[in-house]
Amino acid sequence: MVKRKVVFATPDKNFALAMIWGTRDELAVGYYKNTKTKEKIMYIDELKPKKLELLNQEGYLYEVDNGGFTQNKRLMKEEYIVTKDIKVQKEIKIKNILTRLKRTKKVKIVPYDNVLKEMQKRDKETQ
């Protein structure tokens, strides 16, 4: 596998916020669409106890020019990459990422103790 430096970007600000501090070992971030309601929801599953606390701090969103960004089949469709340096056009400070995500209706945050039950529910809703 060839390793190279890339810049990740997404047009989805909630997705960007959810990915600031956690890794896939700690938090699972994804989307599901309820087949009955047709509603698309982003979810954040806490994969290890107390890892939602990673989001309980400030963070920054960076707006960049979209020139040169492409999708990659190994990434989610909301993620784009570019292999060159990108100029930041605007920096937005978020005082508390977790608080911001909790206020958003299109994001469901699932604590560790509820993850299995919620995954089973999502599986039924998407069939």
pLDDT tens by residue, 91-115: 999 999 999 999 998 899 999 999 9
C-alpha span between 108 and 14 (Å, rounded) = 11
C-alpha span between 106 and 104 (Å, rounded) = 6
Residues in the chain: 127
Q: Is residue 127 predicted with pLDDT exceeding 60? A: no
The stretch 113-120 carries a mean pLDDT of 92
* Tokens encoding 38: 């047709």
Instruction: Point out which residues pair with 42 in neighbouring strands.
Output: 31, 107
Residue 50: the pLDDT is 95
C-alpha span between 125 and 25 (Å, rounded) = 25
Residue 125: the pLDDT is 59
Residue 77: the pLDDT is 86
- The pTM of the full predicted model, rounded to 2 decimals, is 0.83
15's CB contacts (< 8 A; 6+ apart) are: 29, 42, 78, 79
Q: Is residue 121 predicted with pLDDT exceeding 90? A: no
Q: Convert the pLDDT of each residue in 28-84 to its tens digit.
A: 998 988 788 888 889 999 999 999 999 999 999 999 987 889 998 888 888 889 988
Q: Label residue 13 exposed, middle or buried (CB < 10 Å: 0-12, 13-18, 19+).
A: middle
